[in-house]
Amino acid sequence: MKKGKVFLVGAGPGDAGLITLKGLRAIEQADCIIYDFHINPRLLTYAKKSAEFVYVGKRGGYHERTQDEINQLLVDKAKEGKIVCRLKGGDPFVFGRGGEEIEVLSGEDIEFEIIPGVSSAIAVPAYAGIPITHRKVASAFTVITGNEDLSKQEKIFTHIRASNAAETMIFLMCVRNLETITEKLILEGLKPQTPAALIRWGTRPEQRVVTGSISNIAELAKEKNISPPAILVIGDVVSLRDKLKWYEMKPLYGHRILITRQLTEEYLKLEDLGAELFIFPTIDFLPADDFSHLDKSIEALEEYGAIVFPSPRAVKFFFERFLNLGKDIRDLKDIIICSVGIETAKELRAYGLKPDIMPSEYNSESLFDALKQEIESWSLKVKKILYPTSDLAVKETVDSLNILGIQVDKVIAYKTVKPTEHGKRLIRFLREGKITIATFTSPSSFNNLLDILKDDAKHMLRDVVIAAIGKTTKKAIEQCGYKVSIVPENSTIKDMVEAIVKWVTQKY
């Protein structure tokens, strides 16, 4: 029987970029991922498609599973022979109960590996512009849990800050006990004017920072309606925030942008400028169920004068089948190759092909004009056009090509499917207003989202700014009764990213 293993992985405090390379590797190879509430959902997109996901988080005092149940779950999955990634917020050994889980695994003789994470005690103050040590201000720091019953304990802080030394105190999970903590600090001799900062949802778009002193920070927290999760930083280092704050200064700070397709490098500029990306592909692409029509067309390539590739995926799936059938690129030497879009042209070049025709815009009108002009100027008699596409291809594209008086063979090279994994978290984020901008690269990416949201779609998308990659997608969205605010001049991911940045910076 295959022997299982558990990776205990610290995912960091929220910003997906703070995962370690080793932690990311554990996610990628896991058969089962057991994750908590504070995990950035983007991290789950790195898992393999066959991975099992089990949510065991705690929110608002409600436990999806007890700690004993989580421990047993780890044991059971490992004994099934699975590679398990136990994904925990921050660092699993800093008030994360990671030690308890590892003890159980050790007792069951299950192999495990511990991958530390960036603790919120370090990262959250940094994102608020507060260094927890500074040569001229603080030479030490202490991290303390703030969710224990402190009222019955005496002098719990005296040994830490008895002399008001140059030290920083960091309380995690402290909001509910904030008043008790600050009162006891003052009672035990800490100066009431000692600077304090309360940081909620640090490293995330919702990050809020309230500063004051230990004498008034509890009152300020009530006035600002600060609720968990938050950490408390106490010490003179808090005074450096005005000079050192940086995260809130980024142009896209505060925005969480929904990406409804697979993440590509072009989107990462949005993160660099301060946005958080919520990756939720509403469409996925798989090989066609039946290749008979496509195979027949490939075997009869001499009948075609042109092949129109409407997307990079059409290129990929066409050539996978083309090469599997023993064909050679030289079999295309007398055929006009048409690429719809720059990204499609890039995919063609990966196969050693440069498109003969590339319309300026990604829509049926531009495609029609480009083909008509080229065919007439070359004085070629194109017998038929081969159009490999998805099972959900827009019908008007084929109709417009038929107007040329040339037969268009539309063949299914791949099918479009609708993923539903992690849909509950997306719905919760939309319902709570945590998505500010949603991007769509095709009509099906939008229509599939509507199917997932069902009758609540209008309400959930009411305050979300919608970005569409081109006229065809914009038209499909507007036909459903939604406003499209952002449309790039060119139908590429790079141009859509630039359009989003421009819209946000002009708006705010």
What average pLDDT does this structure show over 142-150? 79
Cα dihedral 13, 17, 23, 24 in deg (nearest 10):
140
Last residue of a domain, one of 83, 101, 118: 118
Q: 425 and 411: one domain?
A: no
Provide the pLDDT for residue 362.
59
C-alpha torsion 106→112→115→116, nearest 10 = -10
Statement to judge: residues 370 and 400 lie in one domain:
yes
The whole-chain average pLDDT of the chain stands at 88
295 and 403 together in one domain: yes
**CB of 408 within 8 A of CB of 433?**
no
Give yes or no: residues 365 and 432 share one domain: no
Q: Are residues 409 and 430 in the same domain?
A: no
Among candidate residues 15, 31, 36, 91, the one labeled active-site is 36
219 three-state secondary structure: helix
Residues 184 and 196 in one domain: yes
Task: Quote the number of domains for the chain.
Answer: 4
Q: Are residues 88 and 12 in the same domain?
A: yes
Per-residue model confidence as pLDDT tens digits over 246-268: 999 999 999 999 999 888 899 99
H/E element holding 69? helix 67-79
Model confidence at 129: pLDDT above 90: yes
User: Which residues of 18-157 form beta strands (DSSP E)?
Assistant: 32-35, 52-55, 58-59, 62-63, 83-88, 111-115, 140-145
The residue among 247, 268, 298 that closes a domain is 247
Task: Report whether the peptide linkage leading into residue 312 is cis, meaning its omega lies within 30 degrees of zero.
Answer: no
Residue with tokens 């169920």: 289
Which amino acid, 181?
I
How much is the pLDDT for 490? 84
pLDDT in tens, 444-462: 899 989 988 888 899 999 9
Contacts with 101 (C-beta within 8 Å, 6 or more apart), sequence order: 8, 70, 71, 74, 86, 92
How many other CB atoms are found less than 10 A from the CB of residue 398? 17
Residue 106, domain CATH: 3.40.1010.10
Q: Cα–Cα distances in Å, from 407 out to 26, 292, 383? A: 51, 19, 7
Alpha helices, DSSP H only, in 232-288? Answer: 241-244, 268-272
Residues 468 and 367 in one domain: no
How would residue 38 be classed by pLDDT, with cut points 50, 70 and 90? confident
Decide: helix, strand or coil at residue 94: coil
Same domain, 149 and 46: no
Q: Which residue(s) pair with 269 in the sheet?
A: none
pLDDT at 151: 59
- Own/partner pairs for 495-501, CB < 8 Å, 24+ apart? 496/439, 496/441, 496/467, 496/469, 497/266, 497/267, 497/269, 497/270, 499/467, 500/257, 500/270, 500/437, 500/439, 500/467, 501/251, 501/252, 501/269, 501/270, 501/273
- CATH code at position 332: 3.40.50.10090
Domain carrying residue 303: 287-415
pLDDT of amino acid 167: 86
Structure tokens at 425: 């978290």
Q: Angle at the Cα of 16 (from 342 to 467), degrees rounded to 5?
A: 40
Q: What is the pLDDT of residue 310?
A: 86
- pTM here is 0.83
Query: Quick one: CA dihedral 180, 186, 190, 195, positive or negative?
Result: positive
Question: Which of 97, 118, 139 is the last residue in one of the domains?
Answer: 118
CA dist 438 and 458 (Å) reads: 14
Q: What angle do CA 233, 236, 241 make, to 5 degrees?
A: 70
On whether both 279 and 423 belong to a single domain, the answer is yes
The CATH number assigned to the domain holding 128 equals 3.30.950.10
Which residue shows structure tokens 């996610």?
Answer: 27
Q: Is 36 a catalytic residue?
A: yes
Report phi then psi at 177, rounded to 5.
-105, 15
Q: Tell which residue, 10, 91, 82, has the closest CA to residue 48.
A: 82
Q: Which residue has the higher pLDDT, 121 or 402?
A: 121
> Is residue 134 located within the same domain as residue 106?
no
C-alpha span between 59 and 38 (Å, rounded): 9
DSSP reduced 3-state for 111: strand
Task: Give the model's pLDDT for residue 488.
Answer: 94
Residues 279 and 428 in one domain: yes
Q: Is 173 designated active site?
A: yes
Asked whether the beta carbons of 384 and 407 are under 8 A apart, the reply is yes
Give me the amino acid identity at 244: L
pLDDT, tens digit, 9 for 90 and up, residues 277-333: 999 998 888 888 899 999 999 999 988 888 999 889 999 999 999 999 999 899 998
Decide if pLDDT at 370 tops 80.
no
Q: From CA 125, how far away is CA 237, in angstroms rounded? A: 10
The one catalytic residue among 5, 15, 82, 173: 173
